Amino acid sequence: MKKLLLTFILLPTCMFAQDLKIKNGQGGIFSLGVRSTVSAFNGHDNESSGFGAGGQFRLQFADRVNSDWFFDYITSDIGDLASRTDYHIGWSVLYYLTEDPTTRLRPYLLAGHCFDYTEFQDNSNFTVRKTRLSSAVQAGAGVHFNLSSRLDLSFVTQYMLHLGNEIHADVHDGHLEFHEYSGTSFEGHLLFHLSINYKIADLW
């Protein structure tokens, strides 16, 4: 029993210590990760910074080209009146500024697209809510801190621009009302991500 328990304890350590067998360059490397998010400079008056969490996987196409496929859940407050929840599902292409993948720091540029489902909700009456589905584009920069050949800590800052209807929260006669304005509006926010990622396999 002690040997079995020791095996389960040491198995994850052994997995993280093993180098990934690379087949034909960096293309084909598949990674999984989790990440935290801070959303700043949001588009509504009196809206606080947003905080959230999510997950991602990476699929590398070439030695200097990678991709992120992500999901984020972000919440923020609009004063004391309402709350906002955003669900992001999207992807980004990463271009590395250095050729050597084994360096401790590896900076990169990124650009991509995502879909955003947003829900606004009255804090005093949960039946009063408004939702919006929009599309967004994002661009920014990041850096990998390579902790080992398979594990990295990554920091990203990017600006995300939403394209869709605009929703405002207004108070009338002491009651909160959400108003949606049709037509395309440009609403953006600055996002900061911190993630930890593990290379699972080289697929090709």
Residue given tokens 């990295």 in the structure block: 152
pLDDT band for 45, please (50, 70, 90 cuts).
Answer: low
Residue range 147-202, pLDDT digits in tens: 999 999 999 999 999 887 777 777 666 667 777 777 556 678 899 999 999 999 99
β-sheet bridge partners, residue 117: 87, 133
Residue given tokens 């009651």 in the structure block: 175
Residue range 113-138, pLDDT digits in tens: 999 999 989 888 888 888 889 899 99
Lowest average pLDDT, out of 12-21, 55-64, 101-110, 182-191, goes to 12-21
Rounded to whole angstroms, how far apart are CA atoms 40 and 63? 33
Q: Please, is 38 exposed, middle or buried when counting C-beta atoms within 10 Å of its C-beta (0-12, 13-18, 19+)?
A: middle
Domains annotated on the chain, with CATH? 31-102+111-202 (2.40.160.20)
Q: Is the pLDDT of residue 13 over 70?
A: no
Measured between alpha carbons, how far is residue 134 from residues 5, 26, 88, 118, 188 in Å? 50, 34, 10, 8, 12
Structure tokens at 65: 């080209």
